[in-house]
Amino acid sequence: MKSPKFSEHDRKKVISKIEEHFSIHLSPVGSRRKFLEDDEGKSYWVLGGYEDWHGIPPEMLEEEERRSTNGLLVIAKRYQNRIDVYSGALQSLIEHKEMLSHTKNGDYQFNINIRGNHLLIKEVPELVLSKLGETPYYENEKGADKKMEEIKTLIYKLSPEERAELLKKLANKLKT
């Protein structure tokens, strides 16, 4: 059986949790979906997975070194029916990047270990993330989110006239 992957729907759920917790709005930095920033320019790296290892492209590290925003590292651990979210200082990871292993394609890689309400990065013992919270996320909810994304994509492809006609038909159906 194929092992489950941390999907973009999972990431969106985590991003919503972060935005709610810190009362901020996050937007992507460049084309990377896991590298975000708030309206003040502070970096937020949102990594997630079912497994206990994570990879980071070298460009992300280089960009954060250049920006030096005192950002936040967020790691989400996905379980079958929930996602636990941990956060800590991104700068500590940047400062200790030489302690991380490298993959064949040059990405940095590290392993995590969860102890109670803390997430430890094995390669950087100084870096301990605290549990920000957890969010329930069941497969049927994830399926509904996927369907909603598909519907949004279809609606955005419609012309303004077609959208207006669709809304009018839906309104009429709701009246009956």
DSSP string spanning 34-93?
EEEE-TT--EEEEEEESSSEEEE-HHHHHHHHHH----EEEEEEE-SSEEEEEEEEHHHH
Residue type, 80: Q
On whether both 122 and 148 belong to a single domain, the answer is: no
Q: Mark whether 99 and 130 lie in a shared domain.
A: yes
In a domain, 95, yes or no: yes
Flag whether pLDDT at 13 surpasses 70.
yes
> In the chain, what is the straight-line distance between the N-terminal and C-terminal CA atoms, in Å?
46
Q: What is the pLDDT of residues 118-170, one digit of tens each?
A: 999 999 999 999 999 988 776 666 566 667 777 777 777 878 888 788 778 77
Average pLDDT over residues 41-47: 95
Q: What's the pLDDT at 86?
A: 96
**Residues 6 or more apart from 14 whose CB is under 8 A from it?**
46, 48, 74, 76, 83, 85, 135
The answer to whether residue 45 sits within a structural domain is yes
Positive or negative, the Cα torsion across 55, 26, 16, 65?
positive
Helix (H, G, I), strand (E, B) or coil at 148: helix
CA 84, CA 129: separation in Å to the nearest integer? 12
| Same domain, residue pair 52 and 77 | yes
What is residue 118's predicted lDDT score, i.e. its pLDDT? 96
> How many C-beta neighbours within 10 Å does residue 129 have?
23
- Higher per-residue pLDDT: 29 or 141: 29
Determine the structural domain holding residue 130 and report its residue range: 8-137
Q: How far is the C-alpha of 155 from the C-alpha of 163, rounded, in Å?
A: 7
Statement to judge: residues 133 and 150 lie in one domain: no
Mean pLDDT to the nearest integer, 47-55: 90
Residue 39 has pLDDT above 70, yes or no: yes
Contact indicator for 135, 77 with CB cutoff of 8 Å: no
pLDDT at residue 109 in the model: 92
Reported as a pLDDT band with limits 50, 70 and 90, residue 4 is confident
Q: Is the domain of 49 the same as that of 127?
A: yes
User: What pLDDT was estimated at residue 90?
Assistant: 93
Q: Same structural domain for residues 17 and 83?
A: yes
pLDDT tens, 70-112? 899 999 998 888 899 999 999 999 999 999 988 888 899 999 9
Higher-scoring residue by pLDDT: 82, 171: 82
Mean pLDDT, rounded, for 21-47: 93
- What's the structural domain count of the chain? 2
Same domain, 50 and 86: yes
Position 2 in a domain: no
Q: Indicate if 34 and 114 belong to the same structural domain.
A: yes
